[in-house]
A = this chain, B = another copy of it.
């Protein structure tokens, strides 16, 4: 079924609303003790995130004809993990960022100690949610366990956290393209891939569909970082929500630094094409996944 009126921006807005209202439901309220901690946790979760990871999870589920409501808790859990990682990345000992998406970072508002603990709390909350049997409905416990394993591995020392460590080390010495892609397949890509894999799993994907979505997720996850690097150079600050050129100043390895601006754009286009061709086995149900991959890359070109 081809829907000619389908518009990506409307779709994304609807999904953001859905994810936001679910996050609000699943996170401890600001009245829950300790109130300051829960306020700090919510501050970063509701700081205007684009909800790309949860939306990709929902879209992967949709692509294989699954029910969206089965995926929502896991979609919220992955966004909690993403939010925690941003809080810790922004800390003075890490990227030392004062602003994110135009707002003061968590530690600028609540202080470093609370920011570290708000991050710890959000990461743990993701697993409290994922192991809550009441949210899983008729999904077998074996599958819930697999979801937890996919998300934990994507987030852990051989996934996102590992990528962040190598990224920090890369500030001290020049890196090559292999290291740069290691950083991004782990720091950003691993959690995006996990989102897609969970969506596929809970949506009831066949083995063939899971492989295809895995290929999509790997390419899209990497493609996600290239435009960020490009935008760090060419965007205006109001669009970016942080200082332009901050990666460069910090001596961070970026795609434009290694490949030049044109080379970086070419790499982004290649990755988009790989992501799109992975979806060839799907009909129009994969339209959101296709348009998101295109959107991710085109925003910087």
A interface with B by C-beta (< 8 Å): 28, 32-34, 36-38, 41, 84, 88, 91, 93-94, 111-114, 116-117, 119-121, 123-125, 127-128, 130-133, 140-142, 144-146, 148-149, 152-153, 155-158, 161-162, 164-166, 168-169, 182
Contact = CB atoms under 8 A, between A and B. Distances in A.
Contacts of A37: 157, 161-162, 165
Contacts of A94: 113, 116
A50 to B, nearest CB: 23
B28 A158 contact: yes
Nearest to A133: B145
B144 A127 contact: no
A124 B154 CA distance: 10
Q: By DSSP majority rule, is chain A's interface helix, strand, loop, or mixed?
A: helix
Given A133-B145, A142-B141, A41 B127 contact: no
Given A28-B158, A141-B145, A128 B152 contact: yes
A37 B33 CA distance: 33
Contact of A145 (B93, B119, B145, B153): B145
Nearest to A41: B157
B121 A149 contact: no
Given A34-B166, A94-B116, A127 B145 contact: no
Contact of A133 (B111, B125, B142, B169): B142
Contact of A149 (B28, B131, B157): B131
B127 A152 contact: yes
A161 B127 CA distance: 14
A119 B120 CA distance: 9
A55 B282 CA distance: 52
B166 A149 contact: no
Contact of A117 (B127, B141, B153, B164): B164
A111 B171 CA distance: 14
A157 B116 contact: no
Given A117-B164, A148-B148, A157-B28, A112 B125 contact: no
Given A37-B162, A120-B120, 13 more contacts: A34-B165, A41-B157, A114-B165, A116-B116, A121-B161, A124-B156, A127-B152, A128-B149, A131-B146, A131-B148, A133-B142, A133-B149, A145-B145
